[in-house]
Structure 1
Amino acid sequence: MTHINILDPGASPLDYYGFELRRYREAAGLTQRQLGDIVNYTGSLIGQIETARKLPTREFSERVDAALGTGGLLSRLVTLVLRSQLPAWFQQVAELQARATEIYSFETQMIHGLLQTKAYARAVLGVLDRDNLDDRTAVRIARQAIFEKEEPPVFWAVLSEAALHQEIGGREVMQEQLAHLLAFESEPRINIQVLPFAAGAHAGLQGSFDIYRFGSDPTIVYTEGYGSGHPAANPDTVKNCSLRYDHLQASALSLRDSAELIRRLMEERDGKQADSDGDPVA
Structure 2
Amino acid sequence: MALEAEAVSLWHFAVSVLPGLLQTPEYARELLAAGGLRGDELQQQIDARMGRRDLLEGDDAPQFRTILSEAVLRTRLRDASAWREQLEHLAEVSERPGLTIHVLPFSAGPYGLDSTDVWFLRMPDGRTVAYTENAYRGELIEEYGAVERLQRAYDAVRDMAMPPAESSRFILRMLEEVSCDPLP
Same structural fold, with TM-score higher than 0.5 when normalized by the shorter chain = yes
Counterparts of 1:233 and 1:198, CA distance in 2: 32
Deviation at 1:242, TM superposition (A): 0.9
Match of 1:123 in 2: 30
Q: Does 1:112 align with 2:19?
A: yes
* Runs of 4+ that moved beyond 3 A: none
Post-superposition Cα deviations, 1:215-256, rounded to whole Å, max 9, x if no partner, equal 205211101134432101111111111111111111001111
What count of residue pairs does the alignment treat as equivalent?
182
Query: What is the identity, as a one-letter code, of the residue corresponding to 2:159?
Result: A
Counterparts of 1:265 and 1:225, CA distance in 2: 25
| TM-score when normalising by structure 2 | 0.91
Query: What is the identity, as a one-letter code, of the residue corresponding to 1:210?
Result: W
Match of 1:215 in 2: 124
Higher relative contact order structure (alpha carbons within 8 Å, sequence separation ≥ 6): 2
- 2:75 counterpart (160, 163, 166): 166
Deviation at 1:185, TM superposition (A): 3.1
Match of 1:65 in 2: none
Which is greater in Rg?
Answer: 1
Q: Pick the structure with more helix per residue.
A: 1
Deviation at 1:144, TM superposition (A): 1.2
Match of 1:232 in 2: 141
- 1:102 counterpart (9, 13, 16): 9
Counterparts of 2:159 and 2:47, CA distance in 1: 35
Post-superposition Cα deviations, 1:44-69, rounded to whole Å, max 9, x if no partner, equal xxxxxxxxxxxxxxxxxxxxxxxxxx
Match of 1:186 in 2: 95
Deviation at 1:129, TM superposition (A): 1.9
Deviation at 1:176, TM superposition (A): 0.8
CA contact (8 A) 1:100 1:153 kept: yes
Deviation at 1:169, TM superposition (A): 4.2
Counterparts of 1:266 and 1:148, CA distance in 2: 24
Q: Does 1:260 align with 2:176?
A: no
The SS at the match of 2:39 is coil
CA contact (8 A) 1:160 1:196 kept: yes
CA contact (8 A) 2:13 2:117 kept: yes
Counterparts of 2:59 and 2:76, CA distance in 1: 35
CA contact (8 A) 2:7 2:121 kept: yes
Counterparts of 2:23 and 2:78, CA distance in 1: 12
Query: What is the identity, as a one-letter code, of the residue corresponding to 1:176?
Result: E
Match of 2:64 in 1: 155
The alpha-carbon distance between structure 1 residues 251 and 139, as it changes in their structure 2 partners (threshold 3 A), is same
Post-superposition Cα deviations, 1:140-181, rounded to whole Å, max 9, x if no partner, equal 110111123541100000000110011234221111111101
Counterparts of 2:179 and 2:77, CA distance in 1: 16
Q: Does 1:244 align with 2:153?
A: yes
The SS at the match of 2:55 is helix
Task: For structure 1, list consecutive stretches of 5 or more residues without a partner in the other structure.
Answer: 1-93, 278-282
Counterparts of 2:87 and 2:77, CA distance in 1: 11
The SS at the match of 2:113 is coil
The alpha-carbon distance between structure 1 residues 150 and 188, as it changes in their structure 2 partners (threshold 3 A), is closer
Q: Pick the structure with more strand per residue.
A: 2
Counterparts of 2:57 and 2:171, CA distance in 1: 25
